[in-house]
Amino acid sequence: MIAACGLGALIGVLLGLLGSGGSILAVPALLYGAGMPLSAAIPSSLVVVGASAATGLLPRLRSGLIQWRIAGVVGLVGGLAAFGGAAVNRLLPPTAVLVGFAAVMAAAGVRMLRGGAASGAAGCYRPDGRVRWRSCAPRSAATGAGVGFLTGLFGVGGGFLIVPALVLLLGLSMEMAVATSLVVIALNSAAGFLAHAPTGDLDYPVVGMFTAAAVAGSLGAARFGRRLPADRLRRWFAYLVLLVAAAVATQALLFPHLADH
Protein backbone atom coordinates (compact mmCIF):
# COMPACT_ATOMS: atom_id res chain seq x y z
CA MET A 1 0.00 0.00 0.00
CA ILE A 2 2.85 2.38 0.84
CA ALA A 3 4.54 1.52 -2.45
CA ALA A 4 1.30 2.25 -4.31
CA CYS A 5 1.04 5.69 -2.71
CA GLY A 6 4.66 6.56 -3.46
CA LEU A 7 4.55 5.40 -7.06
CA GLY A 8 1.16 7.01 -7.62
CA ALA A 9 2.45 10.32 -6.32
CA LEU A 10 5.49 10.05 -8.59
CA ILE A 11 3.30 9.41 -11.64
CA GLY A 12 1.05 12.29 -10.62
CA VAL A 13 3.99 14.67 -10.26
CA LEU A 14 5.18 13.71 -13.73
CA LEU A 15 1.68 14.24 -15.09
CA GLY A 16 1.43 17.62 -13.44
CA LEU A 17 4.83 18.77 -14.66
CA LEU A 18 4.83 17.28 -18.15
CA GLY A 19 1.25 16.61 -19.14
CA SER A 20 -0.42 13.37 -20.12
CA GLY A 21 2.81 11.76 -21.38
CA GLY A 22 3.69 10.87 -17.80
CA SER A 23 0.94 8.26 -17.75
CA ILE A 24 3.01 5.95 -19.94
CA LEU A 25 4.94 4.97 -16.80
CA ALA A 26 1.79 3.81 -14.99
CA VAL A 27 1.87 0.23 -16.34
CA PRO A 28 5.54 -0.42 -15.42
CA ALA A 29 4.99 1.17 -12.00
CA LEU A 30 2.01 -1.06 -11.25
CA LEU A 31 3.65 -4.13 -12.77
CA TYR A 32 7.04 -3.96 -11.08
CA GLY A 33 6.55 -1.49 -8.23
CA ALA A 34 3.14 -2.57 -6.93
CA GLY A 35 3.66 -6.24 -7.87
CA MET A 36 0.57 -6.62 -10.08
CA PRO A 37 0.35 -9.17 -12.89
CA LEU A 38 0.07 -7.69 -16.37
CA SER A 39 -3.60 -8.67 -16.62
CA ALA A 40 -4.35 -6.41 -13.63
CA ALA A 41 -1.74 -3.69 -14.28
CA ILE A 42 -3.28 -2.67 -17.63
CA PRO A 43 -6.87 -1.99 -16.43
CA SER A 44 -5.52 -0.49 -13.21
CA SER A 45 -3.37 1.94 -15.18
CA LEU A 46 -6.42 3.01 -17.16
CA VAL A 47 -8.15 4.00 -13.91
CA VAL A 48 -5.13 6.13 -12.98
CA VAL A 49 -4.84 7.67 -16.45
CA GLY A 50 -8.56 8.38 -16.77
CA ALA A 51 -8.85 9.94 -13.32
CA SER A 52 -5.77 12.09 -13.90
CA ALA A 53 -7.09 13.27 -17.27
CA ALA A 54 -10.48 14.11 -15.80
CA THR A 55 -8.77 16.05 -13.00
CA GLY A 56 -6.71 18.01 -15.50
CA LEU A 57 -9.83 18.72 -17.54
CA LEU A 58 -11.78 20.43 -14.74
CA PRO A 59 -9.93 23.78 -14.73
CA ARG A 60 -10.18 23.93 -18.56
CA LEU A 61 -13.93 23.44 -18.85
CA ARG A 62 -14.61 27.18 -19.17
CA SER A 63 -11.46 28.06 -21.07
CA GLY A 64 -13.02 27.79 -24.51
CA LEU A 65 -10.08 25.67 -25.68
CA ILE A 66 -11.83 22.29 -25.71
CA GLN A 67 -13.09 21.36 -29.18
CA TRP A 68 -15.99 19.23 -28.05
CA ARG A 69 -17.19 17.97 -31.44
CA ILE A 70 -13.73 16.87 -32.51
CA ALA A 71 -13.17 15.31 -29.08
CA GLY A 72 -16.50 13.51 -29.48
CA VAL A 73 -15.57 11.97 -32.84
CA VAL A 74 -12.04 11.01 -31.77
CA GLY A 75 -13.24 9.74 -28.38
CA LEU A 76 -16.21 7.75 -29.72
CA VAL A 77 -14.19 5.97 -32.40
CA GLY A 78 -11.30 5.55 -29.96
CA GLY A 79 -13.58 4.05 -27.33
CA LEU A 80 -14.83 1.44 -29.79
CA ALA A 81 -11.29 0.73 -31.00
CA ALA A 82 -10.17 0.22 -27.38
CA PHE A 83 -12.36 -2.88 -27.22
CA GLY A 84 -10.56 -4.20 -30.30
CA GLY A 85 -7.19 -3.50 -28.72
CA ALA A 86 -8.25 -5.30 -25.55
CA ALA A 87 -9.40 -8.29 -27.58
CA VAL A 88 -6.02 -8.49 -29.32
CA ASN A 89 -4.31 -8.14 -25.93
CA ARG A 90 -6.07 -11.29 -24.70
CA LEU A 91 -4.81 -13.23 -27.73
CA LEU A 92 -1.16 -12.31 -27.22
CA PRO A 93 1.27 -13.75 -24.66
CA PRO A 94 2.40 -11.31 -21.96
CA THR A 95 5.91 -11.23 -23.41
CA ALA A 96 4.65 -9.96 -26.77
CA VAL A 97 2.49 -7.32 -25.07
CA LEU A 98 5.41 -6.07 -22.97
CA VAL A 99 7.80 -5.94 -25.92
CA GLY A 100 5.22 -4.02 -27.94
CA PHE A 101 4.62 -1.70 -25.03
CA ALA A 102 8.36 -1.08 -24.73
CA ALA A 103 8.44 -0.19 -28.43
CA VAL A 104 5.61 2.34 -27.93
CA MET A 105 7.47 3.81 -24.94
CA ALA A 106 10.65 4.12 -27.00
CA ALA A 107 8.74 5.87 -29.79
CA ALA A 108 7.23 8.27 -27.26
CA GLY A 109 10.65 9.03 -25.76
CA VAL A 110 12.15 9.74 -29.17
CA ARG A 111 9.25 12.04 -30.06
CA MET A 112 9.72 13.97 -26.82
CA LEU A 113 13.44 14.39 -27.53
CA ARG A 114 12.65 15.72 -31.00
CA GLY A 115 10.47 18.44 -29.50
CA GLY A 116 6.87 19.57 -29.83
CA ALA A 117 5.03 19.55 -33.11
CA ALA A 118 4.20 22.67 -34.99
CA SER A 119 0.75 23.28 -36.33
CA GLY A 120 0.15 21.56 -39.66
CA ALA A 121 -1.30 23.00 -42.83
CA ALA A 122 -4.07 20.42 -43.12
CA GLY A 123 -6.37 22.10 -40.64
CA CYS A 124 -9.98 21.36 -39.83
CA TYR A 125 -10.99 25.01 -39.73
CA ARG A 126 -12.14 27.47 -42.36
CA PRO A 127 -10.96 31.09 -42.17
CA ASP A 128 -14.28 31.98 -40.50
CA GLY A 129 -13.66 29.41 -37.76
CA ARG A 130 -16.13 26.78 -38.96
CA VAL A 131 -15.01 23.15 -39.10
CA ARG A 132 -14.42 21.51 -42.49
CA TRP A 133 -16.21 18.31 -41.51
CA ARG A 134 -15.94 16.65 -44.94
CA SER A 135 -12.16 16.46 -44.61
CA CYS A 136 -11.89 16.65 -40.84
CA ALA A 137 -14.24 13.79 -39.90
CA PRO A 138 -12.21 11.03 -41.62
CA ARG A 139 -8.96 12.27 -40.08
CA SER A 140 -10.60 12.56 -36.66
CA ALA A 141 -11.96 9.02 -36.94
CA ALA A 142 -8.58 7.64 -38.07
CA THR A 143 -6.83 9.40 -35.19
CA GLY A 144 -9.32 8.02 -32.70
CA ALA A 145 -9.06 4.48 -34.08
CA GLY A 146 -5.27 4.38 -33.83
CA VAL A 147 -5.02 5.86 -30.35
CA GLY A 148 -7.99 3.89 -29.01
CA PHE A 149 -6.54 0.61 -30.24
CA LEU A 150 -3.26 1.31 -28.42
CA THR A 151 -5.22 2.28 -25.30
CA GLY A 152 -6.94 -1.09 -25.22
CA LEU A 153 -3.84 -3.04 -26.21
CA PHE A 154 -1.28 -1.50 -23.84
CA GLY A 155 -3.26 0.43 -21.22
CA VAL A 156 -1.87 3.85 -22.12
CA GLY A 157 -3.97 7.01 -22.37
CA GLY A 158 -2.27 7.96 -25.61
CA GLY A 159 -1.72 11.64 -24.86
CA PHE A 160 1.77 11.43 -26.36
CA LEU A 161 0.06 10.41 -29.64
CA ILE A 162 -3.18 12.40 -29.45
CA VAL A 163 -1.63 15.84 -29.01
CA PRO A 164 0.65 15.75 -32.08
CA ALA A 165 -2.14 14.13 -34.12
CA LEU A 166 -4.57 16.90 -33.21
CA VAL A 167 -1.96 19.51 -34.11
CA LEU A 168 -0.53 18.01 -37.28
CA LEU A 169 -3.54 16.21 -38.76
CA LEU A 170 -6.40 18.40 -37.57
CA GLY A 171 -4.69 21.79 -37.32
CA LEU A 172 -5.56 22.60 -33.69
CA SER A 173 -3.34 24.97 -31.77
CA MET A 174 -1.17 23.37 -29.09
CA GLU A 175 -3.35 24.83 -26.32
CA MET A 176 -6.53 23.47 -27.96
CA ALA A 177 -4.89 20.11 -28.59
CA VAL A 178 -3.80 19.65 -24.97
CA ALA A 179 -7.25 20.59 -23.61
CA THR A 180 -9.11 18.48 -26.17
CA SER A 181 -6.81 15.50 -25.66
CA LEU A 182 -7.84 15.26 -22.00
CA VAL A 183 -11.44 14.58 -23.04
CA VAL A 184 -10.28 11.89 -25.46
CA ILE A 185 -7.95 10.31 -22.89
CA ALA A 186 -10.72 10.14 -20.29
CA LEU A 187 -13.14 8.54 -22.78
CA ASN A 188 -10.57 6.07 -24.13
CA SER A 189 -9.45 5.10 -20.62
CA ALA A 190 -13.02 4.43 -19.54
CA ALA A 191 -13.66 2.28 -22.60
CA GLY A 192 -10.36 0.44 -22.20
CA PHE A 193 -11.12 -0.27 -18.56
CA LEU A 194 -14.55 -1.67 -19.41
CA ALA A 195 -12.96 -3.86 -22.07
CA HIS A 196 -10.35 -5.23 -19.66
CA ALA A 197 -12.29 -5.29 -16.38
CA PRO A 198 -14.03 -8.65 -16.90
CA THR A 199 -10.66 -10.42 -17.25
CA GLY A 200 -8.69 -8.58 -14.58
CA ASP A 201 -8.72 -9.42 -10.88
CA LEU A 202 -8.10 -5.91 -9.57
CA ASP A 203 -6.82 -5.01 -6.12
CA TYR A 204 -9.20 -2.09 -5.65
CA PRO A 205 -7.66 -0.72 -2.42
CA VAL A 206 -4.24 -0.51 -4.08
CA VAL A 207 -5.71 0.97 -7.26
CA GLY A 208 -7.65 3.51 -5.22
CA MET A 209 -4.61 4.59 -3.23
CA PHE A 210 -2.47 4.76 -6.37
CA THR A 211 -5.08 6.86 -8.17
CA ALA A 212 -5.65 9.21 -5.23
CA ALA A 213 -1.91 9.76 -4.85
CA ALA A 214 -1.53 10.37 -8.60
CA VAL A 215 -4.33 12.94 -8.64
CA ALA A 216 -2.91 14.70 -5.57
CA GLY A 217 0.59 14.69 -7.02
CA SER A 218 -0.67 16.01 -10.33
CA LEU A 219 -2.57 18.88 -8.73
CA GLY A 220 0.37 19.79 -6.51
CA ALA A 221 2.97 19.65 -9.26
CA ALA A 222 0.83 21.64 -11.69
CA ARG A 223 1.08 24.65 -9.36
CA PHE A 224 4.87 24.68 -9.66
CA GLY A 225 5.31 23.33 -13.16
CA ARG A 226 5.22 26.74 -14.83
CA ARG A 227 8.26 27.88 -12.82
CA LEU A 228 10.45 25.06 -14.15
CA PRO A 229 12.12 24.87 -17.58
CA ALA A 230 9.65 22.79 -19.61
CA ASP A 231 12.10 21.79 -22.33
CA ARG A 232 14.66 20.48 -19.86
CA LEU A 233 12.02 18.58 -17.89
CA ARG A 234 10.64 16.98 -21.01
CA ARG A 235 14.12 16.00 -22.18
CA TRP A 236 15.01 14.29 -18.91
CA PHE A 237 11.61 12.62 -18.80
CA ALA A 238 12.23 11.31 -22.33
CA TYR A 239 15.50 9.77 -21.13
CA LEU A 240 13.61 8.16 -18.23
CA VAL A 241 11.00 6.74 -20.61
CA LEU A 242 13.70 5.28 -22.86
CA LEU A 243 15.45 3.76 -19.84
CA VAL A 244 12.23 2.18 -18.57
CA ALA A 245 11.43 0.93 -22.10
CA ALA A 246 14.80 -0.82 -22.24
CA ALA A 247 14.23 -2.34 -18.80
CA VAL A 248 10.73 -3.56 -19.70
CA ALA A 249 11.93 -5.12 -22.96
CA THR A 250 14.89 -6.77 -21.21
CA GLN A 251 12.72 -8.20 -18.45
CA ALA A 252 10.10 -9.44 -20.92
CA LEU A 253 12.67 -11.24 -23.03
CA LEU A 254 14.90 -12.63 -20.26
CA PHE A 255 12.38 -13.19 -17.45
CA PRO A 256 8.97 -13.63 -19.13
CA HIS A 257 7.52 -15.48 -16.12
CA LEU A 258 7.56 -12.27 -14.06
CA ALA A 259 4.85 -10.66 -16.20
CA ASP A 260 2.07 -12.98 -15.00
CA HIS A 261 2.99 -14.06 -11.49
Element (H, E) at 216: helix 204-225
Residue 240 has pLDDT above 60, yes or no: yes
SS (H, E, C) 148-186: HHHHHHHCCCCHHHHHHHHHHCCCCCHHHHHHHHHHHHH
Q: Would you state the pLDDT for residue 228?
A: 64
Strand, helix or coil for residue 243:
helix
Q: Would you state the pLDDT for residue 76?
A: 92
Q: Would you state the pLDDT for residue 229?
A: 67
Residue 48 has pLDDT above 70, yes or no: yes
Q: Would you state the pLDDT for residue 77?
A: 93
Of 46-50, 78-82, 167-171, highest mean pLDDT: 78-82
Whole-number Å distance between alpha carbons of 13 and 31: 19
How confident is the model over 135-180, as pLDDT tens digits?
788 888 988 898 889 888 887 766 667 877 787 777 777 778 878 8
Element (H, E) at 81: helix 68-91
Q: What percent of the chain has pLDDT over 70?
A: 79
How confident is the model over 9-36, as pLDDT tens digits?
877 777 666 655 566 778 888 888 888 8
Whole-number Å distance between alpha carbons of 78 and 147: 6
Higher pLDDT, 210 or 132: 210
Mean predicted confidence (pLDDT) in 88-117: 81
As a whole number, the mean pLDDT across the chain is 78
